[in-house]
Amino acid sequence: AKRCGRNTIRFFDPTTHAAMEVRIGLEADLRTALLNNEFSLYYQIQTLDSGYITGAEALLRWHHPEQGLIAPVKFIPLTEEIGLITEIGYWTLETACIQLKAWADNPATAHLQLSVNVSPRQFHQDQFVEKVSAIITNTGIDASKLKLELTESLVLDDMNDTIKKMNRLKKMGVQFSLDDFGTGYSSLSYLTQLPLDQLKIDKSFVHNLTLKNADNVIVQTIIGMAITLGLDVIAEGVETAEQAAFLKANYCYHYQGYLFGKPVPLAEFEAALADMPPI
Residues that bind ligand C2E (CB under 6 A): 44, 59-60, 71-73, 76, 89, 92, 117, 119, 179-180, 203, 236-239, 256-258, 263
Packing angle of the helix pair 215-229, 241-249 (nearest 10 deg): 50
239 binds, among ligand C2E, Ca ion, none (CB under 5 to 8 A by kind): ligand C2E
CB of 239 to ligand C2E, least distance (A): 4
CB of 150 to ligand C2E, least distance (A): 10
Complex with ligand C2E: residue 118 or 231, whichever CB lies closer: 118
Complex with Ca ion: residue 29 or 236, whichever CB lies closer: 236
Complex with Ca ion: residue 29 or 196, whichever CB lies closer: 196
The H or E element containing residue 228 is: helix 215-229
179 binds Ca ion (CB under 5 A): yes
The stretch among 101-109, 162-170, 174-182, 242-250 that binds Ca ion (CB under 5 A) is 174-182
Complex with Ca ion: residue 165 or 200, whichever CB lies closer: 200
CA distance 1 to 67: 34
Complex with ligand C2E: residue 152 or 180, whichever CB lies closer: 180
CA distance 269 to 279: 18
DSSP strand pairing (175-181 vs 113-117): unpaired
Complex with ligand C2E: residue 83 or 105, whichever CB lies closer: 83
Whats the size of the chain, residue-wise? Answer: 279
At 171, is the secondary structure helix, strand, or coil? helix
CB of 38 to Ca ion, least distance (A): 21
Helix ranges (H only) for 109-202 are: 120-123, 128-139, 152-157, 159-172
At 49, is the secondary structure helix, strand, or coil? coil
Burial class of 240 by CB neighbour count within 10 A (0 to 12, 13 to 18, 19+): middle
CB 97 within 8 A of CB 136: yes
Cα torsion at 208, 210, 213, 215 (round to 10°)?
40
The H or E element containing residue 157 is: helix 152-157
113 binds, among ligand C2E, Ca ion, none (CB under 5 to 8 A by kind): none
- Tell me the per-residue interface mask from 131 to 160 with Ca ion, x by CB under 5 A, - otherwise: ------------------x-----------
Q: Which residues contact 212 (CB under 8 A, 6 or more apart)?
A: none
CB of 234 to Ca ion, least distance (A): 10
The stretch among 33-41, 60-68, 177-185, 240-248 that binds Ca ion (CB under 5 A) is 177-185
CB of 196 to ligand C2E, least distance (A): 16
DSSP code of 252?
-
Q: What is the CA radius of gyration of the chain?
A: 21
120 binds, among Ca ion, ligand C2E, none (CB under 5 to 8 A by kind): none
CB of 42 to ligand C2E, least distance (A): 7
Complex with ligand C2E: residue 251 or 258, whichever CB lies closer: 258
Contact residues for Ca ion, defined by CB under 5 A? 117, 149, 179-180, 236
